[in-house]
Structure 1
Amino acid sequence: MLRDRILRDDMFRDTISKIKKVILIVVLIISVFLYVCRPFFHGFFMRCYTNPAFLLAFVALGAGIMIRLFSDRFKWTIVVGAIFFVALLVGSMFVAEGKRVEIYKDISSNIIEIDTFPESTSIRLMPYQIARNNMTNNLTLEQFRLGKLDFVILDGEMWWNAALIPDGTWIHYRMKPYGAMFINACETETEIIKIKQDLEVAEGIGISDNIYWRLYKDIDYWSDYSDPFYIPYDNNTKIMTVVSKIDYKLDSWTFVPLRKPVFGGVVLIDGEGNMKYVSPEKIDEEPILHGQQVFPEAIARLYGESFAYKRGVWNAWIAHKDQTELNDVPGEGNFMPYLIMVQDENGEPIPMWFMALEPYGTTYGLKKVLLVDAIDGTVYSWSKGENEQSVGAVKSIEHAKSTDTFRNVNWADFRLIEPIPIFKEGTMYWKLTMTRYTQTGITNIVLIEASNPENVIVFKDGAEFQQFLTEGATDTVKMSMDQLLHEIDVLLQKIKDLPSDAKSPILVELEEKLERLLSLLEES
């Protein structure tokens, strides 16, 4: 019996030894697979890299599994499980908050306070969805579709741009992008440029020629990258792809380790797939990047969100004293920060990321404006005076809808979208676009003065709006009033020309009221 027991123990040990060998082989195979295919798992590994507490949770989980497999110390499995749970809890709840606290500490000493707004220039008139719909409607290539839209600065003006990527599962792996499309965002009329060039490394293709696969393998795995935008060059015959790089700096908040995002430079990719990394210090030396918005939008938004934590997490969660928040307009697919163009001290156009900060809670007044230089990340801040009134982006739409001009508009058929700031002679306006629900054209352009929301100016087209920018509100309103008087006079004349027996009592009453209205308007 003793001999049988010894035999069974030997067989058990042999079995365990074989299992260990199998596990080691499996681990080795998995490790090789993960290394070769590491771009597939970039999101998971970056989560562990940027959130060390999250990494600790998975280390604890792995240790618990190993202890359970190779030891009978069950209590240690429970302890490791508890560590896993607590670490995951800390990682998910506190690191994101602590990151914003530390970001605010980093930027607070370098914020430049401004009393007046810089003058707007090259104002974007075509909203995101209208631009996308117009580009799609003008696309006649059956095997291609639009990639992600972004901005590029061409001759001081903003242009929406997108790659033309293969459309379909099979050709996603077999074909290269056709090129890119560009549409002028500073015009109300559709002005489109299409450039044909095969892009060897690009978005929207698989697998090893995908832009992110190559960036993770050839540039830096432990970084994130922005959405690409495209710069035409060589007389619009070639395309340069530009991607901003986001690095991470190790820091800690109280006892929690974390990594904060920092601007890590730019990667340039030509049509042949050649990549060139440009550090933040060397960007000015690249002519093709002159005046481009290379500072990452994601970091600019974190700057805006961090202002809610300037008094710490306790205030952000509980007390809410002097707290601001970044409120996106509900139903909009285009979120803050908005890219705008302003004039620098020399009158040259420069891109800025704009964010409107509103008081915490259900109030929607404008409390603070942040402008982040879209080239180098410098932060400018404007604060509303204590007794000043100023409406935010969300409420600007409601003020526009309540104006007399739109009292008869059926809002089931029309929308007011994308409140964009405009700075003119020190005054801030919200520019809204009125469009039908199909969002393929611009019906009207609406301006609302932020500090005086009763001042609503409606423009019928881009030309009238541009006249306001160059000549001021008085001439524009006068032009609109003259047009209104003319239209009333034409309508009144048509009614008068009708035979008397063809006029209903309602038409007779309308004729009298139109004559009275015309007289009052001419006197005013």
Structure 2
Amino acid sequence: MSSPSSEESDGPPAGEETGEWPPGGDGGGPPWAALLGVALLLVAAAWFFRPTLHAAVYALYTTPLLVVPLVAAVVAGWLFSKYARDETPSEYGIGDDGPQVSPLRAAGVVFVVGIFVLSPVVNVVAGATLSDQTMGASTTVERLDDVDADNPRIVTRAVAEQYASNTLNRPQYRVGETAITVANGTPYWAAPLSPDGLFNVLTKQQAGTVLVDTTTQRANVRVVDGAMEKGIGTVFFESYRWHLLKNGEYLVDYGDPKMVVENGTQHIVVPYSKPTFHLTPIPHTTPSWGGVAVVDPDGTVRTLSPEEAAESPVLSGQQLYPEDLARRRVAATKYRNGIVNTFTSHEDEIEVAPLPGDDNDQPFFVLTEEGPQYVVAVEPYGQAQGLREVWTIDGQTGAFEVYRPNRSLFGPQKAADLVRQAARQTDWNRFSPAEPILTVIDDREYWQVRVVPEDNSGIAYVAFVDAQSGEVREFERTDAIRRFLAGETPTNATTGPGDAGGAGGGPSEAGDGAPTVIVQRVAENGTVIETMEVYGDETVRIRQPANGTESANASAASAASDGESGANATAGRVRAGA
């Protein structure tokens, strides 16, 4: 019997399937079952960790531009597969000796180049659309609302953070980011009391809210105690944001959280915006106010529309409109005369005015006689620094109003320079003007400028600069600031751009009823703990404790109250003037 040919095989005839997978293996299920299991596992993980993926998902969701290069890439890949076919079935090239390039690679190059080229274009188009929306929805007014004289904004954000940190006596907690809130009609800088240190972050909740009064120069700080089930600054799965993205709106852009205290109950309030889609002239989106999310102490999430938020008793008088959206919409109005004008002649183009100081970016939130408002000052494009427009945004309804002065007015940068010029004896290496806010008093525009130490340890004084004449008035006392805002004439001296004055070189002449000497009790870190006013018929005595010897400078303090230099009168800090 002849042996089988070496070319013959015991296997099945060619072309027949064995049904085994993998070929020649021991059997088992097809590979798609394992792939399906892995895919389901990945989907489950992505769903659970969806808060961490929010930034990427939202970026893709709000970028319809990706459709254009994606379609172009598919078409390019298809066309490339039909062109210059090479001998290798999976690779195609240009010419016999050319480099082999697959259709997938060609499509990838077209996609990347398309995004690179179209991104600047779509950003400009989106800005122009947002400009048209803002200009169309805004109202031109003849005057600005008068400020609420009983609730002036005196303390800056950086100073408030120093006040809060300097008075904190809880070693396991720290003061978080601050934002203005209104409690019982008074504005405060509010910050969460968050766990400090890795162990505490993992094991503790937010313990309360720190409130710093914005209406007084003194460090008026109080803490509202109460644990937040889902708080700020805690471990990620116990944070408000993780909880918000799991139980609230997902495809929205949440702003910075704000602590709101209503009748002793704390709430985390987060305004948010959502995209509006536009197909022409190129696919793009613009942001619009979506609503407000409220996280209660027990972790309950409530999502309110703008109308519902304005009617909520918890949010009465609060800033509900997204702060970043307010600035973005005002800045976008530089396209008001078209894209070509913005890149060529710059006619009527504006820019948001840059301001001196730490953490003092516009918009500013203030209380006016008509309610809470954001204020944004803009100046002309380029080197000009005069005041071009003032935009106000209703903090409750989001209504935009624009004020265009009918006369030339100084801008905020020049106002800061005038404050420096008026107080020539102030050591401007140690102090700086901060947070100029346009304030209207009896139909007169003033820049309200705070002068603060470089370490933001307190408020040295507040200066009011007449936006038309450049005249500077400086006040160290809160009651004098309130009287001036109310339209009264306080007893402080008035200085002009060419006069010397100011704290540390401020008003040196006191009017009737003004104290002769102001004594400030100052902590080691520079925080003003207590202020005492001494009048002309009074003296100051400084004594050591009963177990020590009496201070010898009581007579010097008495002499200071009669008008001598306060700096040499006592061992403490004594300042002459108002």
TM-score range, shorter chain: 0.7 to 0.9
In the alignment, does 2:433 pair up with 1:416?
Answer: yes
- How far does the alpha carbon of each residue in 1:323-356 deviate from its partner, in whole angstroms, 9 at most, with x for none? 0011322553221111111112xxxxx1111111
Match of 1:354 in 2: 375
Out of 313, 326, 332, the residue aligned to residue 300 of structure 1 is 326
Out of 256, 262, 265, the residue aligned to residue 291 of structure 2 is 265
3-state SS, counterpart of residue 215 of structure 2 = coil
Compared CA separation, residues 54 and 364, structure 1 to 2 (3 A) = farther
The whole-number CA distance in structure 2 between the counterparts of 1:177 and 1:289 is 21
Out of 372, 389, 404, the residue aligned to residue 408 of structure 2 is 389
3-state SS, counterpart of residue 262 of structure 1 = strand
- How far does the alpha carbon of each residue in 1:463-510 deviate from its partner, in whole angstroms, 9 at most, with x for none? 22223223534754379564289979x9xxxxxxxxxxxxxxxxxxxx
Aligned-pair CA distance for 1:369: 0.6
Match of 2:235 in 1: 206
The whole-number CA distance in structure 2 between the counterparts of 1:59 and 1:375 is 43
The whole-number CA distance in structure 1 between the counterparts of 2:90 and 2:395 is 56
**Equivalent residues in 2 for 1:451-462 (5 A)?**
451-453=468-470, 455-462=471-478
The whole-number CA distance in structure 2 between the counterparts of 1:458 and 1:478 is 7
Q: Give the TM-score normalised by the residue count of structure 1.
A: 0.81
Aligned-pair CA distance for 1:18: 8.8
Q: When you count helix as a share of all residues, which structure comes out higher?
A: 1
In the alignment, does 2:344 pair up with 1:318?
Answer: yes
Aligned-pair CA distance for 1:20: 8.0
- How far does the alpha carbon of each residue in 1:422-480 deviate from its partner, in whole angstroms, 9 at most, with x for none? 11111121111112212111111111111222x11111222222232235347543795
3-state SS, counterpart of residue 322 of structure 1 = coil
Segments of structure 2 that go 5 or more residues without pairing to the other structure are 1-5, 82-88, 93-100, 496-506, 518-535, 537-578
Match of 1:86 in 2: 113
Compared CA separation, residues 379 and 478, structure 1 to 2 (3 A) = closer
**Equivalent residues in 2 for 1:102-117 (5 A)?**
102-117=129-144
Matching residue's letter, 2:368 = V
Match of 2:157 in 1: 128
- Which range moved further: 259-268 or 112-121? 259-268
The whole-number CA distance in structure 2 between the counterparts of 1:469 and 1:149 is 25
Compared CA separation, residues 442 and 258, structure 1 to 2 (3 A) = same
Match of 1:496 in 2: none
Match of 1:426 in 2: 443
Segments of structure 1 that go 5 or more residues without pairing to the other structure are 345-349, 491-524
The whole-number CA distance in structure 2 between the counterparts of 1:89 and 1:289 is 43
Match of 1:515 in 2: none
Compared CA separation, residues 54 and 165, structure 1 to 2 (3 A) = farther
Match of 1:380 in 2: 401
The whole-number CA distance in structure 1 between the counterparts of 2:201 and 2:119 is 35
Taking only aligned residues, the RMSD between alpha carbons, in angstroms, comes to 3.5
The whole-number CA distance in structure 2 between the counterparts of 1:298 and 1:62 is 37
3-state SS, counterpart of residue 365 of structure 1 = coil
The whole-number CA distance in structure 1 between the counterparts of 2:23 and 2:247 is 45
Larger radius of gyration: 2
3-state SS, counterpart of residue 140 of structure 1 = coil
Q: Give the TM-score normalised by the residue count of structure 2.
A: 0.74
Matching residue's letter, 1:343 = E
Match of 1:443 in 2: 460
The count of aligned residue pairs is 470
The whole-number CA distance in structure 1 between the counterparts of 2:178 and 2:106 is 49
Matching residue's letter, 1:477 = A
Matching residue's letter, 1:132 = E
- How far does the alpha carbon of each residue in 1:245-287 deviate from its partner, in whole angstroms, 9 at most, with x for none? 21212124512x1222111112222111111122122224321
- How far does the alpha carbon of each residue in 1:229-252 deviate from its partner, in whole angstroms, 9 at most, with x for none? 222233x2x212211121212124
Compared CA separation, residues 3 and 213, structure 1 to 2 (3 A) = farther
- How far does the alpha carbon of each residue in 1:190-247 deviate from its partner, in whole angstroms, 9 at most, with x for none? 212211111011221122221111111111110111222222233x2x2122111212
The whole-number CA distance in structure 2 between the counterparts of 1:102 and 1:138 is 47
